[in-house]
Amino acid sequence: TQLLEQSPQFLSIQEGENLTVYCNSSSVFSSLQWYRQEPGEGPVLLVTVVTGGEVKKLKRLTFQFGDARKDSSLHITAAQTGDTGLYLCAGGWGSQGNLIFGKGTKLSVKP
Amino acid sequence: KAGVTQTPRYLIKTRGQQVTLSCSPISGHRSVSWYQQTPGQGLQFLFEYFSETQRNKGNFPGRFSGRQFSNSRSEMNVSTLELGDSALYLCASSFRDRAYEQYFGPGTRLTVT
């Protein structure tokens, strides 16, 4: 049973377009992380959200944690080719390191 | 500050053999977690170590084991390798009280033939 469902699985867009990636669960998490992974490398932490309803912005990326702490979204404004990669969400409980990962959204931004 | 390092980066083994993978965390990080990443299942949690003690364990068979040393370096071992163990094995380190904020190494690509 996959506790974290990500959608869409694949996304191919043109440079300059906006996009949103979703991460949904029936479980409540203490924290939710978003990572980006490029081929041959480990995931890189983008953001952590811990409060229901929290919104964090990182340049053109906006992250939101659902009020019930069961879901999250990642919105990218004016996508660039450098945004290409696998976006992963991960949920955690308490302060410990046993994260549950979604299967990821593979984003391709074409010039 | 140096990142998480994993050795070796690539490994080819035969069914039935065993393998040991190594992970050196970021300086000051004392929590180390291990994950298996495959195309079909994505990233799956193996185990977490803190202060040389296994703090959490994922749903993997007993052939998968690990340990942590006093300098926080960690190793994982897979015995009696199976074809299905072929995967990217990722190690991540973090601070004790924010172990959910994990910093990953580049991984070890294990191929079992």
Q: What is the pLDDT of residues B26-35, one digit of tens each?
A: 999 999 999 9
In this prediction, residue B1 carries a pLDDT of 67
Chain A partners within 8 Å of B66 (Cβ)? none
Q: Please state, in angstroms and rounded to a whole number, the distance separating the CA atoms of residues A15 and A18.
A: 9
Best of A37, A98, A103, A105 to disrupt the B interface by mutation (most B CBs within 10 Å)? Answer: A98
Contacts of A104 in chain B (CB under 8 A): 42
* Closest chain A residue by Cα to residue B100: A97
Q: Is pLDDT of A102 > 90?
A: yes
Across A10-24, A64-78, A93-107, least confident range? A93-107
Which residues of chain B make contact with A33, given a CB cutoff of 8 A?
100-102
Query: Residue B110 belongs to what H/E stretch?
Result: strand B108-112
Residue environment code for B69-106, b if the CB has 16+ CB neighbours within 10 A, otherwise e = eeebbbbbebeebeeebbbbbbbbbbbeebbbbbbbbb
B68 φ, ψ to 5°?
Answer: -130, 140
Q: Which two tokens stand for residue B62?
A: 């007993």
**DSSP type of residue B25:** P
Contacts of B23 (CB under 8 A, 6+ apart): B4, B5, B6, B32, B34, B73, B74, B75, B76, B91, B93, B105
Task: Render pLDDT for A29-43 as a digit per residue (tens, 0 to 9).
Answer: 999 999 999 998 999
pLDDT band at residue B100 using 50, 70 and 90 as cut-offs: confident
**Pairwise CA distance, residues B37 & B47, whole Å:** 13
**Inter-chain residue contact A99 with B106, CB threshold 8 Å:** no
Whether residue A42 and residue B104 make contact (CB cut-off 8 A), yes or no, is: yes
φ, ψ of residue A109 to 5 degrees: the values are -110, 115
Gap between the Cα atoms of A10 and B28, Å rounded:
37
CA–CA distance from A45 to each of A12, A34, B13, B16, B104 (Å)? 22, 6, 31, 35, 8
pLDDT for the residue B98: 83
Query: Span A87-103, mean pLDDT?
Result: 92
Contacts of residue A88 in chain B, CB cutoff 8 Å?
Answer: 42-43
Provide the 10 A C-beta neighbour count for residue B52.
13
B97 band by pLDDT with thresholds 50, 70 and 90: confident
Q: What's residue A1's pLDDT?
A: 53
Please name which of B38, B7, B44, B49 lies closest in space to residue B24, comparing C-alpha atoms.
B7
Q: What's the length of chain A?
A: 111
Write down the pLDDT at residue A78.
98
The Cα–Cα gap between B17 and B80 comes to 5
